[in-house]
Structure 1
Amino acid sequence: MALPQASLRRLGAVGQRQLGGLRVPLRPQLLHLGRFQVCTRLTHSAAQSKAAEGVTPDQKAVGQQLREEWSRYNSFPKPSGARDFKEGQTVTVHGFLARKRIKSSKLAFADIQIDNGPAVQITSSFQEPDSPGHAANQALRSIALYSPVSVTGTVARLHFDTQTGQAQSPCVDHENASSRPGSFPEHVFRIDLDLQSIQPLNVFPKDIIVSKGVQFPPSARHLQVRFSDPLRTRLLVRPQIAFRLRQSLNDLAFTEVETPVLFKSTPEGAREFLVPTRRPGLAYALPQSPQQYKQMLMASGIRGYYQFARCFRDEDLRADRQPEFTQLDLEMSFATGEDVMRTVESIISDLAVFLDSDFCVVDEGEETYLAPRKSLKAKNREDSAPGSRYMMPPFPRMSYEEVMTRFGIDKPDLRIPFELHRVDHILPRSFVSMITHLENPIVEGFRFRPSSGEGSEVSMSGFVDELMRTLPPALAQNPDGAPVALVVDSSKPLRGLSPLGFEGAGALESGEAPGFGDLEDGDVVVFQARQDKSFQGGSTALGTFRNLVYQAAVSKGLLPKDRSFKFLWVTNFPMFTPDNETDPGQGGQAGFSATHHPFTAPLTDEDVELLATDPLKARADHYDLVVNGVELGGGSRRIHVARMQEYVMREILKMTDAGVAQFSHLLEALRAGCPPHAGFALGFDRLVAVLTYTDSVRDVIAFPKSMKGEDLTVKSPGRVTKEQLETYHLTTFPGKN
């Protein structure tokens, strides 16, 4: 339909020009759109012209320099694949220029650092000036050490690891070879290349000083990783351990399920991190664990669940703790704790076989770590018979009561060759009153005997004196009394046992107390008093001191380093533990809280009855996996009946109605016919740390937190601005920074 002439005139001349001067019927909105497009193009063109008019020659020169520099570092050839690595063939590799050795004006060598790959050594030589070889040699000399480079050269030699059963061969075109760029042939630990060309992909700055054994600050974590073989190797081993565990669980028909990270605040037993929202008074909580979600998954019909879960706990930090950490979480329906323990043993043994076959132990100064067998570091390895470092299933089991009695700690190190024994029945009252003010204490002790060898020349008296001078405050200031150590020495009265008197020394040497007979010169006898009451908590003072003696003895060479892994299940924990000033517990009014968490089932029918009569004597179907003194994880059979779960919360722990209501989602899931189930959570960071021979989980985390919970690399946590506080309806209160 044609528009009236008056309407066309009102649209204006711009509309006519847009249509090429043709007066044709148009919808006004289309004409308006066309006009907008024309105006936009004209405005953009004008802006370009205006910007061009303001560009100075210096700015143009800078732009050209940026383009040239970016082009120099941004364009480089792709790396070769494993099938390309044949002697005499040209290949390209990428890595860091790790070391240069200039032999003469025409000969130089260099090493290229490649993670998860073999060592690469390049040789650069030339005969004629201005030749391609000369240009490559000059380029190699000019590139700063530690710079990333692309290297192209001819394969001169492949060094095979004969210990894997692969003989040296000029060809690696075997069935496992790959054409994937950046891959390398199997069983090759070093590749020699004759250099054809080398291209820097960035420049390592001169102001960063690198020397042997250099220690970079935590703020330079990227340099710590780059220049520490043990640290970098542990970070490379970590995902391979995760892959093998995931593979084992998949083979056992477990289903990997991701649970939410934004959860809600519930009193499981540890302090939480809160995440504010823009809705006044409402906040998320980061999960302490996926415990409640995975139990609801059991009620949903998932037969076997697992995930590598990120967990968050606002707790005091130690070498084996981080505010955010990873755990391998699993749960099984229609299962008991026995089923879970067997499953965990299965995946751990699979992992041990993998580590034995693909990795070896490397000693580098004070550091011990795992290295891939294909790496050059593996040539200095300390090999052992396959499987000799790892205990194979079934792992031994001990009750909480037994480990506390024999070792004084609920996560004992079975490598320590001495145990605790009760000796108060043979000690004179005069000696007992010297070591404690307690009226009727239990006195325990152990005998430490150094092994002959590297540290045999160490003075035992000097060793004991130094140990006692450097006792941690918890032991030195123990209100029950500090430990006492005596050195057996035939040159002294009563062979150094005179504080015990004739009667006590005679009884000790006669073997009236187990573990002390046949004393020899150089033996150290240790005594410690404690209150005569049931065990509570994770360790006694003597149990802690026992570990300290062992660690000090190994460091001094008085005992050999033991690189084996001795696993142990600790079972039958008390279901409840008296409240302390450290852990918040479940916030109930009972004066005690759940030892594991409030969802743990009683061990036997008798323990169920004790819930009503004497809860602190009830035992839980709770099990911890321990290796070499480290608790790798814990699990339990769960309460799967809603009425029982609510009874524990409301009647035993004395939680408020509001506290119980925080678990309403779980109670509803249990009420919906939830099957019996049990589970386990393996501390993945701790597992990797132990298996790669480090005492700190910070050595297996790329960007860990400090002991204050700070990320010193990026400087977090950061201060909250006034605007952020207003957005999330928060305010601050005066207090300590």
Structure 2
Amino acid sequence: MAQLRVSSRRLCSLSCPSLRRSTTAHLGRQLQTTASCSSRFQSRRLIHSQTTPIDGAVSDSQRAVGQQLREEWSKYSQFPNASQASEFVEGKKVTVHGFLSRRRVKHSKLVFADVQVDNGPAIQITSSFSVADSPEHAAAKALRAITLHSPVSVTGTVVKLHGSAEGDAVTRIDLDMESIQPLNAFPKDIIVSDGVQFPPTLRHLQIRFSDPLRSRLLVRPQIAFQLRQTLDTLGFKEIETPILFKSTPEGAREFLVPTRRPGLAYALPQSPQQYKQMLMASGILRYFQFARCFRDEDLRADRQPEFTQLDLEMSFATGQDVMRAVEALVSQLPAALNAQLSMVKRGDDVYPVFKQGRKLADGDRDLSWPSLPAPFMRLTYQEAMSRFGVDKPDLRIPFEIRQVDQVLPSEFIGKISGIENPVVDAFRFRPEVEGGNDLESTSEFIGDFMKNLPTALARNPDGEPVVLMFNSKKPLGGLSSLGFEGVEGLTSGAPGLEAFQDLEDGDILVFQARENKPFQGGSTALGTVRSLMYQSAVSRGLLPRDFSFKFLWVIDFPLFTPDNAADPGQGGQAGFSATHHPFTAPLTDADVELLATDPMKARGDHYDLVVNGVELGGGSRRIHLAKMQEYVMREILKMTGKGVGQFSHLLEALRAGCPPHAGFALGFDRLVAVFTHTESVRDVIAFPKSMKGEDLTVKSPGLITKEELETYHLAFAEKK
């Protein structure tokens, strides 16, 4: 028989378990049966509650239990090794390991079944016989008896290798089955059906039966591998830093780890920041690490109490050097991913799949990762806030914010805000639908949007957002509240107001007042409304979904930010804290002078990498002079002597001739989420925490026992 040549590079190992069918368990039935599963398992125990007599004698019943244990273990634990990729040629006998996923009985003597393997071609096995009580008959009966979704070892002959249009890629392997061995039994009380989700308490089943979730988790190490390769070519060396650190006021709340020594505790690191700066003083020129970090902060879709960040630091470098290195790191990802993977749009979900062994299903649409030419756009913090109303702008949103109070009548401004002499910003939203804009559907969309506006926006003390819709059939196009002069000034096409010049029926104008003072924080009220309106319009089909990646740098942040109730800051008495962290260097010599005269006007050499409205990471040039670092902590931030003393190890390292250095921390979970088109980092973490910081699978955190409290010299504080 002719042999079909297979590339071992394209045909991956077939020894890992996998299920590709997106099937899930019936939630109600599952929750009902989970409790009973434990009691049934107890009743089936092979080991009884009996102990070996003191004299060492073994009873007959114990020998019987031992024999039964051995037989049960041998049945499921002894199996042949899986064949290597190079062995899969037509006519050769091979063994595969995987899950029995689908069975099709054609008639009493012919059965087809699928075995799902990890990242490999689809495996279809055929079982047939002609003689009763023959070995083939026994194999067929074994195949019929095994519960679907059970792990199996299958031995058979390769009948055919199905290729793809790409040449040597194998999409399916047909095996003539010789034998099949179950390696465990999938319980019949777990009901698997299409479209039903497992609860978070059964995360292992979520992963196993959800194609998008499995795919994202399997792509995650591919992205990490490519990043490591690029960093190696750029001369970075991977060095691990400790997880058990100590409490230091960097800016976020920490998790403490008590010890058995009275009054002493570790703290889990918010980041390896101080260690990596000490590495620069150690003579390590370029460092990187996939670091586990821990922050006790309020959770959102893009936050977890423990997360992974790709940390890097460069000696004898400026912020520009770091940004160029990060651009090289990120811009090489699309080509590497496109070589192995493709993005599939299935229904409303978009997720990556390995090209090996994949066939398009009905309704699927293939996408690829777009190229990311460097350098990326650079925007100052002030420009980002004024044009987009947020310090992490989504450049896919087609409408920008403009200041318009200079052309609006005072009567209108007085109606929308009670602030004295406010700034009024506005943007124009235009739906993009085939056949032109439908005034009725746009009006319905805006009505629903404003009705569901978050309370903080709907009851903004600066004034609520005001929405007007242009309709050429109405007086002044439906903008009569602006007055004749207001409409004329807004639509004049004056510099900065070009977006309002050629209004069309159905165009939406949104106005928002704010205090006339420098920007602070991460967003304005109108910036938040703008982002929410874009997301809502895309979900309603009024704007197309954009799968591109719009990267940019936001630079020139204020070095310090006024204190707020949400962040602990550095614990100083100045009334403000470091925007990034207290180790960020001033941007220019003029900003250095402002440290002594007006620190709130000083800018930092701090840069954030942003894509599609997501902050992927941030970095800065560091203060490498011990004297200036101590001055910032003690004189600017007004930290106590004790607070400054917590950084004595870093100050000592800087004092020892530490070279100029700069660095960056890339949120790896966020990067994977963005590149796999999901809004939640929980979709790219195997066992994530809930919004309450709980691991619902293992039920953590757990209650502290009295014995543990005593061991670690702890006690519960009395309620006030």
TM-score by length of 2: 0.90
* 2:600 aligned partner: 616
In the alignment, what sits opposite 2:679?
Answer: 695
State the shift of 1:449 in Å.
1.0
Residue of structure 2 in register with 1:171 after alignment: none
| Corresponding residue number in structure 1 for 2:25 | none
Structure 1 residue 60: Cα displacement = 4.7
* Deviation for aligned residue 1:427: 1.6
CA distance in 1, matches of 2:299, 2:357: 35
The answer on whether the counterparts of 1:633 and 1:683 sit within 8 Å (CA) in structure 2 is: yes
The answer to whether residue 603 in structure 2 is matched with residue 600 in structure 1 is no
Q: Distance in 2 between matches of 1:561 and 1:132?
A: 56
Pairing of 1:495-574 with structure 2 (within 5 A)? 495-512=477-494, 513-574=497-558
Whole-angstrom CA distance in 2 between matches of 1:450 and 1:83: 54
For residue 190 of structure 1, report the CA deviation from its aligned partner.
1.9
Correspondence 1:293 to 2:275: yes
The residue number in structure 2 matching 1:111 is 114
Residues 62-73 of structure 1 mapped to structure 2, 5 A cutoff = 62-73=65-76
1:289-438 superposed matches below 5 A: 289-376=271-358, 382-383=365-366, 389-438=370-419
Whether contact under 8 Å (2:586, 2:605) holds in the other structure is yes
> Is 2:652 the partner of 1:668?
yes
2:89 is aligned to: 86
- 2:135 partner letter: P
Decide which moves more: 310-319 or 112-121.
112-121
1:637-652 equivalences under 5 Å are 637-652=621-636
Classify 1:379/1:103 alpha carbon distance in 2 versus 1 (closer, same or farther; 3 Å). Answer: same
**What is the alpha-carbon distance in structure 1 between the residues aligned to residue 483 and residue 582 of structure 2?**
51
Partner of 2:35: none
Q: Residues 140 and 90 (structure 1 numbering): CA distance in 2 closer, same or farther, change over 3 Å?
A: same
Listed one character per residue, the Cα deviations across residues 334-392 of structure 1 (whole Å, up to 9, x for unaligned) are: 111111111111111222211122111111222111111114256676445x76x2322
Q: Deviations over 1:131-160 (max 9, x none)?
A: 333222222211111111111122122222
Q: CA separation in 2, counterparts of 1:138 and 1:486?
A: 72
Query: For 1:420 and 1:409, how far apart are their aligned partners in 2?
Result: 10
DSSP 3-state at the match of 2:193: coil
Secondary structure (helix, strand or coil) at the match of 1:680 reads strand
Q: Which residue does the alignment assign to 2:420?
A: 439
Instruction: Identify the range of structure 1 (453-462 vs 229-238) with the bigger mean alpha-carbon deviation.
Output: 453-462
Q: Where does the alignment leave 5 or more consecutive residues of structure 2 unmatched?
A: 1-51
Quick check: 1:453–1:558 contact (8 Å CA) kept in 2? no
Separation of aligned partners in 2, 1:374 and 1:454: 40
How many residues of Structure 1 are paired with residues of Structure 2 in the alignment? 665
Rounded Cα–Cα distance in structure 2 between residues aligned with 1:491 and 1:454: 19
How far off is 1:509 after superposition?
Answer: 3.1
Post-superposition Cα deviations, 1:12-50, rounded to whole Å, max 9, x if no partner, equal xxxxxxxxxxxxxxxxxxxxxxxxxxxxxxxxxx96975
- Tell me the residue number matched to 1:635: 619
- The one of 251, 255, 260 equivalent to 1:269 is 251
Give, in angstroms, the shift of residue 162 of structure 1: 1.9
Q: Secondary structure at the match of 1:325?
A: strand
- Give 1:514 deviation, angstroms: 2.8
Q: Residues of 2 paired with 1:496 and 1:111: CA distance?
A: 63
User: How far is 1:51 from its partner?
Assistant: 3.1
The 1:437–1:327 alpha-carbon spacing in structure 2 relative to 1, beyond 3 Å, is same
Q: Which stretch has the larger CA shift, 727-736 or 515-524?
A: 727-736
Contact 2:239 2:289 in 1 (8 A): yes
Change (3 A) 1:161 1:286: same
For 1:76, give the aligned amino acid.
F
1:580-591 matches, within 5 Å, as 580-591=564-575
1:215 maps to a residue whose letter is Q
For residues 293 and 404 of structure 1, what CA distance do their matches in structure 2 show? Answer: 33
CA distance in 2, matches of 1:491, 1:102: 67
Equivalent in 239, 262, 269 of residue 280 of structure 1: 262
Cα drift, residue 125 of structure 1: 2.3
Q: 1:368 to 1:129 in 2, by over 3 A?
A: same
2:387 counterpart SS class: helix
Does the residue aligned with 1:51 lie in a helix, a strand or coil?
coil
Instruction: Name the counterpart of 2:163.
Output: 160
Residue 273 of structure 1: how far off its partner (Å): 0.6
**CA–CA separation in structure 1 for the residues paired with 2:605 and 2:365:** 41
1:658 aligned to 2:642? Answer: yes
Verify the 8 A CA contact 2:554 2:610 in the aligned structure 1. yes
* 1:63 Cα deviation after fit: 3.6
Q: Which has the larger radius of gyration?
A: 1
How big is the shift at 1:316? 0.5
C-alpha separation between the residues in 1 aligned to 2:467 and 2:346?
34
**Alignment pair present for 1:51 and 2:57:** yes
Name the stretch that deviates more: 584-593 or 494-503. 494-503
- Out of 184, 196, 206, the residue aligned to residue 178 of structure 2 is 196
Matched-pair identity in % = 70
1:544-587 Cα shifts (integer Å, max 9, x gaps):
11111111111111111111111101100000000000000000
- Supply the AA of the counterpart residue of 2:450: M
Q: Pick closer, same or farther for the CA change 1:391–1:420 going to 2, 3 Å.
A: same
State the alpha-carbon separation in 1 of the partners of residues 127 and 476 from structure 2: 74
Contact kept, 8 Å, 2:385 with 2:523, in 1: the verdict is yes
1:76-106: CA deviation from partner (whole Å, max 9, x where unpaired):
1111101111112111111111122222222
CA distance in 2, matches of 1:63, 1:446: 77
How far the C-alpha of 1:609 sits from its partner, in A, is: 0.4
Residue 441 of structure 2 corresponds to 459
Partners of 2:186 and 2:341 in 1: CA distance: 31
The letter of the residue matching 1:563 is F
Distance in 2, Cα, partners of 1:644 & 1:193: 71
Summarize deviations over 1:188-219 as a string: whole Å, max 9, x none.
Answer: 22222222221111111111111101211111
1:150 corresponds to 2:153: yes
What CA deviation, in whole Å up to 9, does each residue of 1:668-700 have, x standing for no partner?
100000000000000000000110011011111
The CA deviation at 1:127 is: 2.4
Contact 2:437 2:506 in 1 (8 A): no
Structure 1, unaligned stretches of length 5 or more?
1-45, 168-186
Q: In the TM superposition, what whole-angstrom CA distance separates every residue of 1:243-295 from its partner, at most 9, and x where no partner exists?
A: 11111111222111110111111000000011111111111111100000000
Q: Once the 2 structures are TM-superposed, how far is the Cα of residue 62 of structure 1 from its aligned partner?
A: 4.1
Q: CA deviation at 1:430?
A: 2.3
Q: 1:375 to 1:469 in 2, by over 3 A?
A: farther
How far off is 1:315 after superposition?
0.5
Q: Aligned partners of 2:109 and 2:182: how far apart in 1?
A: 21
Normalised by the length of structure 1, the TM-score is: 0.88
- Give the match for residue 10 of structure 2: none
Question: 1:471: Cα distance to partner?
Answer: 0.9
Give, as a single letter, the amino acid of the residue that structure 2 aligns with 1:144. T
Contact 1:235 1:700 in 2 (8 A): yes
Query: Corresponding residue for 1:491?
Result: 473
1:227 to 195, 204, 209: 209
- Is residue 690 of structure 2 the alignment partner of residue 684 of structure 1? no
